Structure 1
């Protein structure tokens, strides 16, 4: 619902400022580029306006819906909350995606264990995939891909948390990262990530 409102605000801004807001099938590459430029400009203005109006839950809802790229929407919002020392909203924003990426990694780890029950976590981490066709599915390649994506989000989150006052929470997130790196993470470890406000 928040995405619909956010997008409606973008469309309203585009119309009010007589910018291109609807594409056509026969538009040129230059017209497409101009339309996208107008859209990104309007999105930035509406984003800033909603932050000023403290529509945090609505912005977080848009981020959680993954309607916009992480780097363009979620990360700037997280940086804003970190700069404002607003740890509850920072947690609410970031824990959601981290938890889902960790859960996906655990599902992949389970499939790897079903694929070859003799593999240990150390062997899985050190598994050499260069001999495999990258176009074909391989459970270990899938696991390592999801683990790397989760590590990227955790690393970004840890950087944001370094300036916050809750050292115990930062340590807990760093321990989750370490368990993920070693593939010793368990579903029970995720109980610490609640993403509630």
Structure 2
């Protein structure tokens, strides 16, 4: 008696895992056969069966629920961070439409593999409430590689802010002021020579 043929979703998941492994190997995150076997074997849809997608509205950032199925399986195997829960405990299955909240996420596969495979200090990771992230991964030659994703490039923003701060002769933290209005929150120097808008959640 022949064993039953694997379902389409099982075959598709295996194919998508192989494709993800190819992508991670191409960008240098996946460097050993043993870790490739792990990436190709572990079904990510078990750990991320549902998630939220960001929706920008006139009222601010909201999160729309997505419950995984055959139509959304490919999204699970993209090298992206999936928002799996919001700060008020709401899971995608609990929401009937877009909701507000601070996201909690399932870390993107490339970052997880980079942490597990890398040598020495693992990484510095910056994550914002809008789903943007920047990750610094140490390289063997002593340099750092930056990976960014999401709606904003956080590391680029940080580098520009640091350069502007140095131009102003590196003022101390207590030199800055905080201004809050109904429409805007800013951190600035008294003469407004250096000003940053705080993000709106």
Q: Of Structure 1 and Structure 2, which has the larger fraction of its residues in strand?
A: 2
Q: Which has the higher contact order (CA 8 A, sep 6+)?
A: 1
**TM-score surpassing 0.5?**
no
